[in-house]
Structure 1
Amino acid sequence: MHKTALHQKHVDLGAKMVPFAGYEMPVSYEGVNIEHQNVRNHLGVFDVSHMGEFFVEGAEAEDLLQYVTSNDISKLVDGQAQYTCLPNEKNGIVDDLIIYRFNAEKYLLVVNASNIDKDWKWINSYNTYKATMRNASDNYSLLAVQGPKAIEAMQTLTDVDLSAIKFYHFTEAEFAGADEVIISATGYTGSGGFELYIKNENAEQVWNKVLDAGKDHNIKPVGLAARDTLRLEMGFCLYGNDIDETTSPIEAKLGWITKFNTDFINKDNLLKQKENGVERKLVAFELLDKGIPRKDYPILDSENNPIGYVTSGTQSPSLNKAIGLGYVKTGFHTIDQELFIQIRKKQVRAKIVKLPFYKQ
């Protein structure tokens, strides 16, 4: 089991530690509901240092990334980030990721922890360009400082005007006494805040100062369990659940990051899907009766015929109702469509709703 640079901090705080993507990670400290609500209403800090970081540099770095990713990287300006995916050659997704543009010849890719080795090999296999790749995953720690109090609380730690960093933009500056911290207005909670990319040797210092600066704003450390409920309330996809090597971005309603004005891997087949339609679609649903949907539970029509399966589900702490995502046959995907979730021996009523579940 790998350990992040902050592992001992989590142990000292009494976190429940679990194996996740090859790392021993904090799943919760005080409990998922408390941590979840604190991010929604105040401020939380997550250690997500298990994520992978690749630097791609050189005269043809943009050309390589334009080909291996589905979004249009040419639209980025210096200091901007972009959500995208790596399509495979079989209508599936190798991974979803964020690309950061420093300049025309320097990019940072942030990939999912469980896919670091796979993504590295995949991108390298297409690197026939004048692009140099560097896997910096073992050198960086990543903190997500999330919640409506993030700007106010963190401003004391840097001279950068945090309120001036637009959503999905970033800068590199001194933060909490550490040099060359990437301060990014991104995150997977839907409650605002920043992600901080820090060299490992500075991680403990920054963690301590973040917690200290957030004291008057009710900051709490938050584990992976609340990270999952927060992202699900926003309808954000989780790799390995809602998207994987067998699900296409068109099926997953990720057409908005699939730009056909560019040339990328498997473009022609995905364009056919867009033009001709797909047999299944990812939908959001809420339960009308009591129960909690879980991954792989069957989704049924009104006559108990299987029409799909749940990919993610939970009891929403913010909404106090059960919510989920899942794939259903096309034709059963319209808003307000009623369907049923098979929970053990019961068929529990649900209806399809519009995302996000949680609206501020």
Structure 2
Amino acid sequence: MSEEKLLRTSLYDTHVKYGGKIVPFAGWELPVEYKTGVIAEHMAVRTKAGMFDVSHMGEILCKGPDALKNLNMILTNDYSGMHDGQARYSPMCNEQGGVVDDLIVYKKNDQEYLMVVNAANKDKDFAWVKAHQSGDVEFEDISDTIGQIALQGPLAKGILKKITAVENIPAEYYACTFDRDVAGVKCMISTTGYTGEDGVEIYMPMEDAPKIYEALMAAGKDEGLIPCGLGARDTLRLEAGMPLYGHEMDDTVSPREAGLGIFVKMDKEDFIGKDAIEKIGKPPKRRKIGLKVTGRGIIREHQDVYQDGKKIGVTTSGTHCPYLNHAFAAALVETDKRDPGTKVEVDVRGRMVEAEIVKMPFYKRAD
């Protein structure tokens, strides 16, 4: 049985040019880090600017008179009342209340929305929305035609302003502009990201991604902009307390358990998973918590968490966070065992490592 051929974004040669260490990820060949290393890339995003190729993400168009009706049935958040150019995050649940995926929806107009989903889930998500569509609506997978670059950090917008007009960049958070000229290419610009920093995500025709990437590198040369890989993307999102599908949530974990209850609108008439989430109850039996390592060692995912010798849950992510210069982790534990300051132990390959429950996010940028 032959191995499935890995895909490459249009920026593959660009990553090689800049010294990216290429690894397999979600069916793609992508850079995990560059010669600068994960720590330097992480710190660049926190203090200056960093750039990520996220062209592997999936894009699904939702079009038609019943587009809004479908989004409100398929997703747990409420998409009513959005203005054109607004973005909104949501889990997408199955009938058991577990999370099929988490995603962002961008509104172009009343009859056209763009759904951006996780790369590893793209085919599953597209099949899911097609299987649950109703009325006059069309879902179209346009992932192969779209490139996406994330420019993140306190200097990100200033760098972007060098290659596009300032009015092309949305003024508010979680907003977007469509068909705007960036370095001679028609792009969508959104004030979103997965790092906990200020910044933008830029969508363009896949074949134009190298041109935009090089234009941004040139514009950011004096500001300390550097290419960043998957390693820094993961340490940044965990430091900022952001969930990752397959870790903090999956088909068996409800949004409330994953700490995403704010994005579940139970006052909506109906949505897939609503009945199950009601039965799970509030608060649910387990919840996501943050852990700060107080002993020696690094906590990773899938490690058992103990309190007073009794197992109370399991870790979902964990690493050393470069900006905070400390080891942290996220975990799913019994709801009544989640008070900040609670001392716990984590079984790290047979060795018990002391930790303390703390509030999330671990890092929050100053506005």
Q: TM-score, normalised by structure 2?
A: 0.95
Equivalent residue runs for 1:141-220 within 5 Å: 141-161=147-167, 164-172=170-178, 173-179=180-186, 181-220=187-226
The answer for the alignment partner of 2:296 in structure 1 is 290
- For residues 182 and 261 of structure 2, the distance between their equivalents in structure 1, rounded to whole angstroms, comes to 36
2:3: which partner in 1? none
Q: Secondary structure at the match of 1:49?
A: coil
Q: Indicate yes or no: 2:277 matched with 1:273.
A: no
Please give the per-residue CA displacement for 1:31-72, whole angstroms capped at 9, x wherever unaligned.
110000000000010001000000111100000110000000
> 1:56, 1:101 → 2: CA distance?
10
Does the alignment pair 1:12 with 2:17?
yes
Structure 1 residues 100-128: Cα deviation after superposition (integer angstroms, max 9, x where no partner): 00111000000000001100000001112
- Tell me, yes or no, if the aligned pair for 2:170 and 2:191 is still in contact at 8 Å: no
1:162 is displaced (CA, Å) by 5.7
Structure 2 letter corresponding to 1:265:
I
**Counterpart-to-counterpart distance in 1, 2:74 and 2:364:** 33
Q: TM-score, normalised by structure 1?
A: 0.97
In the alignment, the residues of structure 1 paired with residue 69 and residue 290 of structure 2 have an alpha-carbon distance, to the nearest angstrom, of 35
Match of residue 48 from structure 2: 42
Structure 1 position 75, deviation (Å): 3.2
2:94 maps to what in 1? 88
Which residue is equivalent to 2:359? 354
Report SS of the residue matched to 1:39. Answer: helix
Does the 8 A contact of 1:151 with 1:162 survive in 2?
A: no
Give the distance between the partners of 2:336 and 2:105, measured in 1 at CA. 35
- Do structure 1's residue 318 and structure 2's residue 323 form an aligned pair? yes
Deviations 1:303-348 (A, max 9, x none): 2x21111100000101111101011112111111111111122211
**1:74 partner SS:** coil
d(CA) in 1 for partners of 2:24, 2:185: 29
User: How far apart are residue 211 of structure 1 and its match?
Assistant: 0.4
CA distance in 1, matches of 2:114, 2:289: 31
**1:266-296 CA distances to partner (integer Å, 9 max, x unpaired)?**
2122123344x32211111111111101110
Structure 2 SS opposite 1:183: strand
Unaligned stretches of 5+ residues in structure 1: none
Structure 2 residue 261 is the aligned partner of structure 1 residue 261: no
Query: Aligned residue for 1:332?
Result: 337
Q: Which of 236, 245, 248 is 1:242 aligned to?
A: 248
What secondary structure is seen at the aligned counterpart in 1 of 2:162? helix
Q: Tell me if structure 2 keeps the 8 A contact 1:250–1:274.
A: no
Structure 1 runs of 4+ aligned residues shifted over 3 Å read none
Paired with 2:135 and 2:236, the residues of 1 have a C-alpha distance of 39
| Same amino acid, percent of matched pairs | 41
Secondary structure of the residue aligned to 1:209 is: helix
Counterpart of 2:280 in structure 1: which amino acid?
Q
Q: Measure how far apart 1:201 and its partner are.
A: 2.0
C-alpha separation in 2, matches of 1:91 and 1:135: 25
Cα distance change of structure 1 residues 163 and 106 upon mapping to structure 2, 3 Å threshold: closer
Point out the more displaced range, 49-58 or 155-164: 155-164
Asked whether the equivalents of residues 98 and 273 of structure 2 are also in contact (C-alpha less than 8 Å), the reply is: no
How far, CA to CA, are the matches of 2:168 and 2:349 in structure 1? 48
Separation (CA, whole Å) in 2 of partners of 1:23 and 1:315: 26
Verify the 8 A CA contact 2:159 2:220 in the aligned structure 1: yes
Matched pairs, number: 357
Q: Contact 1:155–1:161 at 8 Å: present in 2 too?
A: no
Aligned to 1:341: 346
Q: Root-mean-square deviation (CA), in Å?
A: 1.1
Deviation of the 1:12 alpha carbon = 1.5
Q: Is the 8 A contact 1:33 1:317 kept in 2?
A: yes
Aligned to 1:137: 143
* Cα shift at 1:359: 2.9
For the residues of structure 2 that align with 1:32 and 1:213, how far apart are their CA atoms? 22
Q: Residue 195 of structure 2 contacts residue 237 of structure 2 at CA under 8 Å; is this kept in 1?
A: yes
- Amino acid corresponding to residue 20 of structure 2 in structure 1: A
2:129 equivalent in structure 1: 123
For 1:117 and 1:4, the matched residues in 2 are separated by 17
Q: Which amino acid aligns with 1:199?
A: P
